[in-house]
Chains A and B, each alone.
Chain A
Amino acid sequence: MVLNTYSDLNAVQLDVLKELGNIGAGNAATALSAMLDHPIGLSVPEIRLLSYQEVTEALGGPENRIVGILLSLEGDMSGMMMFLLPEAFAHMTLNTLLGVSFYDFSSIDEMGYSAMKEVANILASSYVNAISLLTGMRIQITVPDLCIDMAGAILSVPAIQFANVSDKIIFIADEFICGEERAESHILMIPDVISLEKLMTRLGVDR
């Protein structure tokens, strides 16, 4: 089977991706609990193939201000991974991690930025480790880069990069639960199609 775009993925392959997402999210919750020194619960992640338009809507519209954190995948898998965190998620992690309460995005300082990048680093590693463990692929992630701006503007970065590959992307929605607080996080997995094909072959679902 030749994959040309993400839309060529069949039902079995999508299920495999969902399972990878489940394992990754489980790892992520464990890692986040350890980092925040606080039990973190997790709802069953939802994994879908969405168009950029649909992702933008899921994030509260193009002008909604969110945190975007971008990492590149290198090694046996290349592509991008992007975390899209709403204000509530940034609140939850920063308040627990740094013990400071911040009111809105403009009150985040340098310390807050590095803390958020570190959280993204841990979450990304959790997902990547899940894939590595199951497939034996060696995958490295680059230093995360952070941007707080309109959801649509942030999404334009992966949209442009993969415009010639696919109009749809793999969208993972998690809900982390920390005490009374609940916070959604969204992850875009954007491997290039060659990497995706490799992944499917390794997992024995290449046809």
Chain B
Amino acid sequence: MSSTVTVGISDLNAVRSPDVLVTYALGSCVGICLYDPLNRIGGLAHIMLPSSIDSGVKSDGYKFADTGITLLVKKMEQMGAKTPLLKAKIAGGAQMFASITNSSIANIGQRNVASVKNMLNRLNIPIIAEDTGDHYGRTLYFYTEDGTMKIKSVSRGEWLW
């Protein structure tokens, strides 16, 4: 039997096969799935903002792409995952309001995705699937049994990566 673990906003968690990780209703936030296929350990982070550096406020690191990914990798290593084996699948980063004029709001999804990619690149973790951008919300399921990512939306149904 597998159990399902929910990851909230600005939150992360890691589990072993066959458990399932889920995060609901990603809008402009980005969900990052990391998978060690050998040890069958999977991790999921739900970040809100691109960088802890320009936030100016010292707050919890789970909120940001840079610190969130680092903390997730650390957590997975503690469970026995090997960083050189990790592969990533990412989703989210939508622009929910299509015609918004305020550019700092309009770009945030895109900036989150760019920051996530940059961070994964620095850690030499390859991105093997990506479902980002556009204008709709996504719920993300991550199956640690085989590393499948399932995306569910309210208007377009669901599909696998």
Give min CB distance, A106 to chain B, whole Å. 7
Stretch from B55-63, B75-83, B143-151 that touches the partner: B55-63
A151 CA / B96 CA spacing, docked (Å): 11
Chain B residues, CB < 8 A from A68: 96-97
| Residue A29 lies at the interface, judged by CB distance under 8 Å to chain B | no
| Residue A134 lies at the interface, judged by CB distance under 8 Å to chain B | no
A163 CA / B136 CA spacing, docked (Å): 21
Chain A residues, CB < 8 A from B135: 147
Known: A150-B139, A156-B28. 14 other contacts (CB 8 A): A62-B24, A63-B25, A68-B96, A70-B97, A145-B100, A146-B97, A147-B135, A148-B155, A150-B27, A153-B26, A156-B96, A157-B96, A159-B48, A160-B28
Give min CB distance, B57 to chain A, whole Å. 5
| Bitwise interface map of A from 112 to 145 toward B, beta carbon under 8 Å scored 1, else 0 | 0000000000000000000000000000001101
Q: Which of B56, B63, B154 contacts A65 (CB 8 A)?
A: B154
Chain B residues, CB < 8 A from A146: 97
Interface, chain A (partner B; CB < 8 A): 52-53, 56, 61-63, 65, 68, 70, 72, 106, 142-143, 145-157, 159-161, 163-164
Flag if B97 contacts A153 (CB, 8 Å).
Answer: no
Flag if A156 contacts B97 (CB, 8 Å).
Answer: no
Identify the closest chain B residue to A153 (Cβ): B137
Identify the closest chain A residue to B136 (Cβ): A149
Contact residues of A: prevailing secondary structure: mixed
| Residue B116 lies at the interface, judged by CB distance under 8 Å to chain A | no
A143 CA / B135 CA spacing, docked (Å): 19
A53 CA / B27 CA spacing, docked (Å): 14
Q: Which of B25, B56, B59 contacts A150 (CB 8 A)?
A: B25
Flag if A154 contacts B27 (CB, 8 Å).
Answer: yes
Interface-central residue, A70, A160, A161, by most chain B CB under 10 Å: A160
| Bitwise interface map of B from 23 to 43 toward A, beta carbon under 8 Å scored 1, else 0 | 011111100000000000000
Identify the closest chain A residue to B94 (Cβ): A153
**With A70-B100, A147-B96, A147-B98 given, is the CB distance from A157 to B27 under 8 Å?**
yes
A148 CA / B97 CA spacing, docked (Å): 9
